[in-house]
């Protein structure tokens, strides 16, 4: 009976070990899938000169401990740049912690950043570590840094300068090793001049500045981004969507994307989910009629009032605008337009010959 009891315990232990091993393998596989998915979603996609320049800056700054300030419109991809800096540096094994400073009140933001002790305020039923402690040995990404109140700015600046801090309602001094990457779509210079943002914090944040241009300033990235999102969502939803029709892709290229990359992602996701065919057509796209910020001349629903023009006038205006957006580089403009450089030169020469000469 003693031997049988021993065998029984051994068999139970083996069964338990086998179950634990199976669960560990499943969990490891799930973590791997989540990491791959996160990598796909956070990968910077593009072929424009602006994206290549940003990637070059990321490689240079990732190996340092410098504070980085990322600027750009909402939805342009500032968080992707911050994550790329984290992944490319020696802190990649640490945590990448995000916090939107505009989403919380002053009291809650202080608690989220620095943590709080039990009983520090109504509702603080237990001690909580803040984002700084959570990001120790890693990276803390603070979005909308320009919305931080002056009172929090002072405490935040001390931590940036390497000083320890105390949790809200506590007396224990906490010191962490965190790299801070901040982002904003506000004009911080104006905020400094108006007294809404600390001058010393501004210069402390702006050690390295990376500017992410809006999607309309890099139209050559639209097609690659659209195909990237299509492949990602088609795989997630298991829909047999293979690509875009010429009309749909043309509309994506011509659209000005007031919501930037985030809007493009949402448009493609909706099209993949609702499309009934293998190719996404123009009718599957739900492009927003809103104009760009500051478009005061737009008509109702953000549309420009229609002015009849000949096809030649439309072509001329579009080509000249493309050359201007390309910084006067005609070779680059011809590549964007999909025509030969010689064809572009002939069109420009013809329009120059038709232009009225100034009277002497």
DSSP string covering 137-174, please? TSEEEEESGGG--HHHHHHHHHHHTT--EE-BT---EE
pLDDT for the residue numbered 33? 52
DSSP string covering 49-85, please? HHHHHHHHHHHHHHTS---EEEE--TTSSHHHHHHHH
pLDDT for the residue numbered 299? 42
Of 60-74, 87-101, 304-318, 340-354, the least confident = 304-318
C-alpha 86: how far from its chain's center?
A: 14
pLDDT for the residue numbered 257? 93
Percent of the chain scoring above 90 in pLDDT: 54
pLDDT for the residue numbered 302? 45
CATH class of 49-213: alpha beta
| Sequence spans of domains, the chain | 49-213, 215-305, 307-355
> What SS3 state is found at 276?
coil
pLDDT for the residue numbered 40? 47
Helix (H) or strand (E) holding 250: helix 246-254
Tell me whether residue 264 is exposed, middle or buried, using C-beta atoms within 10 angstroms of its C-beta: 0 to 12, 13 to 18, 19 or more. buried
pLDDT tens digit sequence for 151-199: 899 999 999 998 999 999 988 999 999 999 999 999 999 999 999 999 9
Give 142's strand partners. Answer: 99, 182
Homologous superfamily of 307-355: Homeodomain-like (1.10.10.60)
pLDDT for the residue numbered 360? 45
Residues in the chain, overall count: 360
Q: How confident is the model at residue 205 (pLDDT cuts 50, 70, 90)?
A: very high
Alpha helices in 185-293 (DSSP H): 188-193, 199-205, 222-237, 246-254, 260-274
pLDDT for the residue numbered 69? 96
Q: Which fold has domain 215-305?
A: Helicase, Ruva Protein; domain 3 (1.10.8)
> Whole-number mean pLDDT of the chain?
86
pLDDT for the residue numbered 6? 81
> Is the pLDDT reported for residue 42 higher than 70?
no
């Amino acid at each position: 009976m003693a031997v049988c009891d021993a065998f029984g315990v051994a068999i139970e232990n083996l069964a338990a070990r086998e179950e634990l091993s199976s669960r560990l393998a499943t969990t490891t596989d799930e973590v791997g899938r989540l990491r791959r998915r996160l990598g796909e979603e956070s990968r910077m996609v593009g072929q424009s000169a602006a994206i290549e320049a940003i990637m070059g800056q990321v490689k240079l700054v990732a190996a340092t401990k410098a504070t980085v300030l990322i600027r750009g419109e909402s939805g342009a991809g500032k968080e992707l740049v911050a994550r790329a800096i984290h992944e490319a540096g020696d802190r990649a094994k640490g945590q990448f912690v995000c916090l939107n400073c505009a989403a919380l009140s002053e009291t809650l933001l202080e608690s989220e950043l620095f943590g709080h002790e039990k009983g520090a305020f109504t509702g603080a039923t237990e001690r909580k570590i803040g984002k700084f402690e959570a990001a120790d040995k890693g990276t803390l990404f603070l979005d909308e840094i320009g919305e931080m109140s002056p009172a929090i700015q002072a405490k935040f600046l001390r931590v940036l300068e390497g000083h320890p801090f105390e949790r809200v309602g506590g007396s224990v001094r906490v010191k962490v090793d965190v790299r801070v990457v901040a982002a904003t779509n506000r004009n911080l210079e104006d905020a400094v001049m108006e007294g809404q943002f600390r001058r010393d914090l501004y210069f402390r944040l702006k050690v390295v500045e990376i500017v992410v241009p809006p999607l309309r300033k890099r139209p050559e990235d639209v097609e690659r981004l659209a195909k990237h999102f299509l492949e990602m969502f088609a795989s997630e939803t298991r829909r047999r969507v293979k690509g875009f029709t010429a009309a749909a892709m043309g509309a994506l290229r011509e659209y000005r994307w007031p919501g930037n990359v985030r809007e493009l992602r949402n448009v493609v996701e909706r099209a993949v989910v609702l499309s009934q065919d293998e190719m996404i057509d123009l009718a599957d796209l739900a492009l927003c009629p809103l104009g760009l910020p500051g478009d005061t001349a737009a008509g109702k629903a953000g549309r420009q009032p229609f002015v009849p023009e000949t096809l030649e006038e439309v072509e001329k205006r579009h080509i000249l605008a493309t050359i201007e957006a390309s910084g006067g580089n005609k070779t680059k403009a011809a590549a964007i337009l999909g025509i030969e450089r010689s064809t572009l030169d002939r069109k420009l020469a013809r329009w120059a010959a038709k232009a009225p000469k100034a009277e002497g």
